[in-house]
Amino acid sequence: MHEKKQILVAEDFEDCRLLMTLYLRQLGYAVTEAGNGEEALERVKFNRPDLILMDISMPRMNGLEALSVLKGNPDTRDIPIVIMTAHVQRSQTNDALRAGAVDVIFKPFNLLQLGNALGRYFLPPEEGIGFAAKQVHNKELSIGFHER
């Protein structure tokens, strides 16, 4: 039996975070949640994830600030971080990628897009990303709210 991959979901919208968490757990991942960048940094100290899904616009510390801290720390710089955002400004996307994000997913996104993004960073557990994503994708369920 393989060890479950750990994913940290850093998202300030509770409903969006809950949907992603439920979906990821259905796929067989272990999920930790954070409501802002500061909480994300705290969670990483105690439970090092294999991947971080990080919103840009969050209270207290935004995703770009948290990304910068994580990439500046030798203990966490190799954790892949996927930025999630409703901002379509090229400058923010470029800033995130320059700061060390491995990918950017634009909100709202459907679960198939999320599954495909996960599949790029590590092998899917159990039945695989495609199997579960296709089941949910048929319902056209999207994740994401327009950020304030």
Rounded to two decimals, the pTM is: 0.82
Within a domain: residue 65?
Answer: yes
Within a domain: 88: yes
87 assigned to some structural domain: yes
For each of the chain's 148 residues, which pLDDT tens digit applies? Answer: 357 899 999 999 999 999 899 989 988 899 999 999 999 999 999 999 999 999 999 999 999 999 999 999 999 999 999 999 887 677 778 889 999 999 888 888 877 778 777 877 765 444 444 444 444 444 444 455 444 3
Distance in angstroms (rounded) separating the CA atoms of residues 58 and 42: 15
Please list the alpha-helical segments (H only) found in 50-128.
63-72, 90-99, 111-119
Domain assignment present for residue 81? The answer is yes
Residue with the two structure tokens 């969006």 = 16
Residue 51 belongs to a domain: yes
Within a domain: residue 39? Answer: yes
Residue 108 CA to its chain's centroid (Å): 13
> How many domains does the structure of the chain reveal?
1
CATH number at residue 77: 3.40.50.2300
* pLDDT for 123: 53
- Tell me the CA distances in angstroms from 8 to 60, 88, 90, 135, one per residue in order: 18, 23, 25, 23
Structural domain includes residue 147? no
Q: Is residue 1 part of a domain?
A: no
Query: Which structural domain, as residue segments, surrounds residue 102?
Result: 6-141
Beta strands across the sheet bearing 6-10: 30-34, 6-10, 51-55, 81-85, 103-106
Q: For the chain, give the number of residues.
A: 148
